[in-house]
Structures are given as C-alpha cells and as structure tokens.
Amino acid sequence: MALGMQSLDSSVSPSVSGTPRRGRFVTPAAQRRKSRSRSRGRSASRRIIQEELTWADRVKEKSPKPKKVTQSASPEHDEKSEIEQLHPEIASLKAELRKHKAAQAVSSRVEGADVADNAVNKSTQEPKVEVNKAKRKALPPKDESDSEMQVESSQNKMLEDLLRISKENQLSINQLALSMGAFESKVGAIENKVVALENKMAIKTRPKNAAENRESTVFVNAAQHGKSSAFALAFIDGNGELRSSASVRLATSAVAEQVAIALAMTGRSPTTVLTR
C-alpha cells in the first residue's frame, strides 16, 4: 500500500503538483517590478514621441506664413473711378446752379413789381393833393405855399424811397451774381479736373513714340452774370497732369485770356488755349 502511494505520487508531474521548477520560479515582487519597468519604458517612449510632435508643431507655428498676393489696382482704374465719382457731383452742382438762377430771376421780378406798385400807389395819391389845392384857391398865399411845400416834400421822400429800394435791389443782385460766379467757377474747376483725368488716361494709352507730340492745354471756363464775369482756368501739361489753376472774377474775356497765356508760358511744350 505504501508502495502504491509512492508510485502514484511519483507519477504526478511537478507542474501539476504546483511546485514550479527551480530555474523558472518568479516571486510576486519580481513580477511587480518587471511590469513596472515595462510600463515606465512605454510611458517614456510615448513622452518622447509627444515631445517630438510638440516641437514640430512649435516650429510650424513659428515659421512665417506665406503672404497672400493681392493684385493692386492699376492707376487707370483709380482715375476712371475718380472720374465716375466726379460726374454725379458736377451734375448735382449744375442742378443747384440752375435752381439758384431760377430763384434769382423770380426774386428780381418780384422786387421790380413791388417797386412799380409803390410808384403807382404814390402817383395815384398825388391827384388828391392837386384836388385839395384846387379847392383851396381862396386860401391866403401863405397857406397855399405851405401846401405846395408839403406836396414837394412828399414827392422828394417818395423819390428817395424809390432810389433806396433800387440800390438795395442792385446790391443784392450783385452779391448774388458774385456768389453765382464763384459757384460756376467751382463747377468749372471740377470739370477741368475731369478733363485732365480723361486726357491723362488717353495719354497713357498712346504708344511710346507719340510722347514727343504731347501738347499742354489751358482750359478757360467762363460764366457771365450781367456785367460781372467769372473764369476758371486750368493748366494741364503734356502728361495730363494739372499743373496749376486760377479763378478770375469780375474780369473781361481779354483779361482771362491773358491770364491763360501767362499760365501757358510756364510750360516748355507747345500749349493750346481753349475758351468755352
């Protein structure tokens, strides 16, 4: 019986019996240290990979970004847009100018009618004085002379009032004419600027061999208001540039042409004087 038990125990393998082999035995503490070292190695490798990616990202962020190439507008486009902006301004100024002229005509007619009415009213009052004078033929000479003096003084006063009203009307008309002349000279200056820009655009489109035939131009824009005149002068060189400008008020066309010629003499190229 004892031998049978011994043979049974010897037939069981060491692995089944739970006793590990001597060379392969690992304690639980060693297993924990081994697993800890493996986890540290993996975390360190991951940290290195993350640091390398972060460094690449930093370099990418610090690198200068390529600038967007935007096509700048050409000078011809700028001049064309400026001309398109000036045309509506000229139209509005001309409309306002026509409005002022119509108001001036209406006011002058109304003031003339008022003066005529005052004259008619005072003239109609004169026969009454004459009738009273006829009725008082029997008065003494002293009273008759007094009445004549009163009639004469009233007539003189009426004439003084008419002269004062006419002077005031003439003064207001002159002031309005001056303001209208300045307004028209402003419109003319803007028109000359538009012409200068158009000439500049036309010159830029010419071939290069036509540069020798460029001429300077002086524009004279006249505005007449009765006896007063206003002239807007603009000197444009052969390149289409506005070199100088002037505004002449209360001058004749001959004086304006002399000023235009003086402006034209400032350029070396052939110059043309245009009056309109």
Q: Is 37 helix (H, G, I), strand (E, B) or coil?
A: helix
Smallest Cα–Cα separation from 252: which of 228, 221, 270? 228
Q: Is 33 exposed, middle or buried (0-12, 13-18, 19+ CB in 10 A)?
A: exposed
**Model pLDDT, residue 86:** 78
Q: pLDDT digit string (tens) for 42-89?
A: 555 555 545 455 555 665 565 555 455 455 556 666 777 777 777 787
Q: pLDDT digit string (tens) for 214-258?
A: 556 666 565 554 555 666 666 666 666 666 666 655 456 666 666
Q: How far apart are CA 158 and CA 152, in angstroms?
A: 10
User: In the structure, what pLDDT confidence band is assigned to residue 2 with cuts at 50, 70 and 90?
Assistant: very low
Pairing of strands 271-275, 216-225: parallel
pTM of the model: 0.33
